[in-house]
Structure 1
Amino acid sequence: MADAAVSSSGAAPFALAVDGMGGDGAPETVVAGLAIAAKRHPNLRILLTGDENRLRPLLETHRAAASICTLRHAGSVITNEMKGTAALRLRDSSMRIAMGAVAAGEAQGVVSAGNSGALLALAKIVIKTMPGIDRPALAALGPSARGDVVMLDLGANVACAPRNLLEFAVMGEAFARVVLGLGAPTIGLLNVGSEEMKGDERLRQAADMLRASPLGGQFHGFIEGHDITAGTTDVVVTDGFTGNVALKTGEGAFRLAGGMLRQVFTSGLLARLGYLLARSGLQRMRALLDPRRYNGAVLVGLNGVVVKSHGGADAEGFAHAVDVAMDMVTHRFNDRIRAGLSQLAASPEPGARAPASTATEVSVPAAGEPAMPGAADVTLAPTG
């Protein structure tokens, strides 16, 4: 399984570079997930990075994965406990080598289930932010009453300026077009109320900028927390602090509901009989809310596709993260973002209102430091 070189035509020989050592079950879960992905994408070409002594025997067992993978040895692994600064110093890690392949044009995207903070730090340093984007954002899908919804930012940026929220809207709109296949996704700005006077000056200024932008016709306005699961809009835009809190609250609510259902249907003989009668409906609900369907958060706004799989995902969940990355690559997600940014640059912005003098400024991490060091793995659905 010899390593491949960049083709003479300059085209990327690999669709994706995959960090074979990232995640709780790596490398076994990663290779098993790639075997599933190989059946869905038989023409997929993957550069698999990691410990050759551990990966090669697994590839010999999972022949489907071996048929799409080229192995590149990595001498070290970024652990879940490692801080971003320490991760940046490991130049031979499986995650760093996968990122480097994207930066060098050998691959169009990277998938990793490894350390979230390290992934963000390395992506910003190695792959770098797309021109016209101030900060990348973490975006993912979640369930709602009207179908899937896109939400960002989920933790990459704790504090955001109005311009950042406008850029998130551009990226979230492109995400919804690519992944959900929507022609004109609606956009909502998460706030403490739907009325125009609600929220702080930063949110009201971001709303003014959105209304005046080329996305103005798709901007619904302010939405509240319950609008996320109601599916009021296709895209939910917020800062990373609020988004991460909403994410974890939603995960907790799903677990609570699941636990209560188990208690109800195991509380007695009649309850068990009721479960048998309702089982087909409950199985459909379970399938709709299966966390593996929503695995694969995308770090948007970079010069390449970067997908973060949940660290605890099983093989099916990791395969779904590969599916998400392939959607981004196949449908030229970054080109759609560039087009949106070009339209944004050509449109006049409304006069910026000065932020309130009492606003609290949050310091931005130094270059190379993740906005949320050690951030938890991200998924919009319950993990159990």
Structure 2
Amino acid sequence: MDGYGFFVINGGFKLYLDPALMAPDFDRDYTWATVEDGDGYFTSEIEGKSWMQVVQQAEEDPTFFRFTSLYAEGVHIYFNYDPEAKTLTMPKMQPTGLSTFGNAIYVDAVAGKCTVDAEDKFTFTLSFYLADEEGNKTAELLQSTETFLWGRTPIDLLQHGKKIDDYVGTWVVPVENGEQSGKIPVTITKADGTTLLVSGLSLMDNYDDTMALMYDEETGLLVFGYQPVASIQGFDAFVAPFNSVTGQLTRTSSECLVGGFNKAGVLTFVNNPDNQGVYDSMVYAVTGGGQLMLMSGFWNYLEWEPYAPAASFGTLDKVDFSMGTKSVEEGIVSKRTYKTELNLQAFPVQPSKLSLKVQRTAVQGFSLVR
């Protein structure tokens, strides 16, 4: 039977309905369309990262929305938002596409802990848990605070309108090579009205590693992208956006990082939303013998703090050039890579204990217990 039917029994009939088709199916029951200018910046505590997220709206109910492929490819998370009533809720027991030790993870909103502020910042406090086949919660995993900036990008979090001279000075930059990490002082100077020069970023000894940041006069923000730098010991060299997780860099001219001050005054570089890939650092590299190699083995991260005289730079020393450093690949890393197996600690839900104690209930002098 295709989900329904009936049986004739002793002159009567028995109607059959498929329980699976009787259950709500938001994909099947609603028509979804991407919200124009609705894409926003989603920051996930449970994932430990941020990304640009698509939001769609149900044509049949203008207060019903979904985040497409939020935690896993093809698994959507649904929510209700009424801008007039200022209410933000979610359907219960939504599958996430995540798992822990092979067990499917579900999510509910924590009652009263989902809000929307005046700047359209959506804050979801979510409870992740395990459930049995009957839909009964069997174990709590964790609560996570997820935020969504409706219609905004990470660039909107940077301070606009800064002057080029505001960026001139010494900055403390975090660096790492996979085994060592620390902080180094980096100097930014002004070359002209739209160009800043950065030196000291490569960690190389006896090498002029000057590279450029372009200043956008309209926004007051900075732009960093692939650029050749001075050769070293006869090898061509360059600096480029880098993904330290996958070990891939890009020399595509359209891929770039955008820099500016965050609210705390830290010089922060973020991915341009128009990028095809995602990058978390900058790296100096060389070409030689048909290979790409990291120049010093180190890459630098994207939050640069203002220099203070008492700042500590760790124990990192300048390094000498050697073609024996790490090889690196060239390529564009996908904006979203899903890690669906989380291996979280589970806390079993204790069933409610049935009390056998007789309660004395008196009503107008009458007692159930004599």
TM-score under structure 2 normalisation? 0.29
Q: Which structure has the greater CA radius of gyration?
A: 2
Q: Which has the higher contact order (CA 8 A, sep 6+)?
A: 1
TM-score under structure 1 normalisation? 0.28
Q: Which one has a larger percent strand, Structure 1 or Structure 2?
A: 2
Q: Which one has a larger percent helix, Structure 1 or Structure 2?
A: 1
